[in-house]
Structure 1
Amino acid sequence: MKEEILSNITIVSILIVVGSFLLVYYLIPKIIFMVNHHNLTEAPIERSSHVESTPSMGGLSFFVVLILAIFFIKHFDDDNIGLNFVAALTVIFIIGLKDDLAVSTPRARLLVEILAITIMFFHSGYHVTSFDGFLGFNEAPTLLMDIVHIIIILTIINAYNLIDGVDGLASTIGITIFTMFGLVFFTLGLNFYFLISLSIIGILFAYMRYNFSHRKKIFMGDTGSLIIGFCIAILSLKFLTMEASLFTHLTFKLENKLFIIAGIIAVPLFDMMRVIGVRLIQGKSPFEADRNHIHHVLINLGFAHYKIAMILGLLNYILAVLIIFLASHTNSFQMMVIFLTIFSLFLAVFFSLSKRVAKKQTTILNDSK
């Protein structure tokens, strides 16, 4: 009876999302008490979007619940990737926790992220030898493909980490991303990855309750954003390295796999590309923190945090659906033009909003004289 229940995907899906939600909902108040008791709250700095010291280790609960979820759904782990995943998540958890307690250097964080990726690469299923026709490229050495995938994973992890700037935004964007991944993996019958997506959706919904709270507010911190970003990256890696035969269940062209991933994480990716580009043009380090993100601009325009989360979350859904639809009807060369066009429109909108912010600040300055 027990085995029948644990092998029923419908029952397990309900248990995993509800269980993840309830466990995070239970754990976070305990974490808040611990952080406050030991005076480990995050004090606001110049680029912060909050004005009071706030607990910032919500990611502790993410780690605990994900490890338990992976154990609970091990019967669906047809790839036998669970042990690698747990080990890699532990490495990411350690550097994230270290960042929340005492900031790490970008180099140290990068090296630890590469170590976590390497642990995942010990699994043979994450190695491929083809670009699948992407921009006309096909066969390639395994080493080259691994390097490309490492760069993609690092980009995804840090794109998500950078979007965590206002209440509810990282969790809302995360929910949109894992909803899309969940639909894809459910369609393909890859239940382990589907259930991982459901678990994280439950985690983020529970966390959002406290992230928006005034009395029991907490941030996910680098512990949380790195863990969630890493999970996004690993699901992306699985998608990019799946056997070509699995894609017969989907409508888009095989050569557009990378654009599908880019569409699913569109808002964090576009924002990171723009921010790093601006920093490089200004002669600054791409790792130098600032208030030049899209959510900072919306804050300066007077938008409440929940509205920013809703706007950018909805935008991410729209861009994901649009790009997936277009990837079914165009080749990778056409998709590159479309992708760059969408990114250009994103830049144009941001520039327009930035001009409004500058005009608003000039008006306030003149009125104060």
Structure 2
Amino acid sequence: MNNLYIVASVTLLSSAFIVTILINKIRWIVKSMDLIDRPDHRSSHIESTPTMAGVSFFLTVIFVLIIIKPWDTTGVGINLIAALGLMFAVGLKDDLVVSTPRAKIISEVLAIGMILFCNCLKVSSLGGFMGIGVIPDFAAYILVTLIILTIINSFNMIDGIDGLASIIGIVIFSVYGFLFLIFGLEFYFLLCLCFLGILIGYIRFNLSKNRKIFMGDTGSLFIGFCIGFLSVKFLSIDSKLFQEFSFIPSNKLIIIAAIFFIPLFDIIRVISIRLINKNSPFKADNNHIHHVLINSGLSHFKASLFLGSLNLILASVFIFLSRSYGSFEMIGFYLLAFILLLIVFYKLKRNIEKGNRFRYLVSAIQFLF
């Protein structure tokens, strides 16, 4: 199959189909072995639910990588399978017996190391971001590690209500898929379709009343790593290729941050609140933005759809602006969006604590979604 669009269709459809078949099997195994998620004091759910749908994600990716192997001209697929295998093991262990944050971070760093030294992912320049051009290898390795760690754990933390992680993931993979397609990076475009098909196949189970299943840490750590992997590839794109498509190379980091806006906003906000309250940044609580929306009266689906739509809008706006403005101006736009969103969620939080003073905010979201 040499036609890209035929392979793309096969990749998307087969990913969704395989995940659907595997999840049905996984639900039966998990329920028969009583490996289910039981709600606690901070849970948004009231019923015990099967978890570990992420097992199907890993198995599906292995199969699809065989289909798209001819497009992997750099051989990065082998490194990706090894890294995803480790992330799968870490997530599975965390779903079965809770891992310590330190153990998870160490495992994540090891997985990052498996892709860090691929020449096709080498980051040698920031394209002029804040005046920074060429960077030494050790600085690039540190930067890449921090980016992927932030993405993995941000995505893991956003997975708190039905549909949210799936919808955010669908938005992110759709945007990256579009960008990789126009840049002519066909293998990465096909990877995006694989991950997109996986989440499309999974989301109907996550939103189902009768066949519900969670992706668990097995899934959220896995998908988070995939997003981090694609983000590093985007950062490593030659600046000359950016200029050919009228993008300003210095905005690569800003575009990544915009594509991942909602999870990044959430983790920064939540960790800041924990530190202000003199709590550990790793101590779980119900201060996430999805908890605020749920406690304000939105359903899981409406809250997830709102945050996913907001992420898509912001990513699209920043990608459009990145063709006309430099990195300093883009940072200003990003901070403005960040602060405005902080104000909105502060008002929603106050609405929960002190009454209905800002009910119109929730009413507007209810009307739109």
Identify whether the pair has TM-score above 0.5, normalized to the shorter chain: yes
1:195 alignment partner AA = L
Map of 2:360 onto structure 1: none
Counterpart amino acid of residue 140 in structure 2: M
- Pick aligned residue for 1:37 from 15, 27, 32: 32
Q: Which whole-Å deviations, capped at 9, do the CAs of 1:122-144 have from their partners, x for residues lacking one? A: 31222233222110112221101
TM alignment of 1:128-277, pairs within 5 A: 128-277=123-272
Shift of 1:242: 1.5
Query: Which residue does the alignment assign to 1:19?
Result: 14
Structure 2: distance between partners of 1:34 and 1:254: 49
What is the correspondence of 1:51-200 to structure 2 with a 5 Å cutoff?
51-200=46-195
| CA deviation string 1:321-359 (max 9, x = no partner) | 111112111111111111111110010001010011112
Structure 1 stretches (4+) deviating beyond 6 angstroms? none
Match for 1:196: what amino acid?
L
Unaligned runs of 5+ in 2: 358-369
Letter in 2 for 1:56: T
Distance, in Å, in 2 between the alignment partners of 1:15 and 1:360 is 52
Aligned AA (1:244)? S
What secondary structure does 2:263 align onto? helix
Aligned length: 357
Distance 1:266 1:251 in 2: 23
Q: 1:361: Cα distance to partner? A: 9.0
Q: Are the equivalent residues in 2 in contact too, given 1:44–1:51 (CA < 8 A)?
A: yes
Q: Deviations 1:66-116 (Å, cap 9, x if unpaired)? A: 111112100001221000000000000000000100110000000000000
Whole-Å separation in 1 of the counterparts to 2:2 and 2:245: 25
Partner of 1:314: 309
Instruction: Kindly indicate whether the alpha-carbon contact (under 8 Å) linking 1:188 and 1:249 is maintained by their aligned counterparts in 2.
Output: no
Instruction: Kindly state the Cα deviation for residue 56 of structure 1 after the two structures are TM-superposed.
Output: 0.9
Measure, in 1, the Cα distance between the counterparts of 2:272 and 2:173: 27
What is the letter of the counterpart of residue 131 of structure 1?
A: L
Provide the C-alpha distance between the structure 2 equivalents of 1:361 and 1:91, rounded to a whole number of angstroms. 47
Report the CA distance between 1:208 and its aligned residue: 0.7
- Answer whether contact 1:41 1:56 (CA < 8 A) is retained: yes
Query: 2:349 maps to which residue?
Result: 354
TM-score normalised to structure 2 length:
0.95
Look up the SS of the partner of 2:83 in the other structure. Answer: helix
Q: CA deviation at 1:148?
A: 1.0
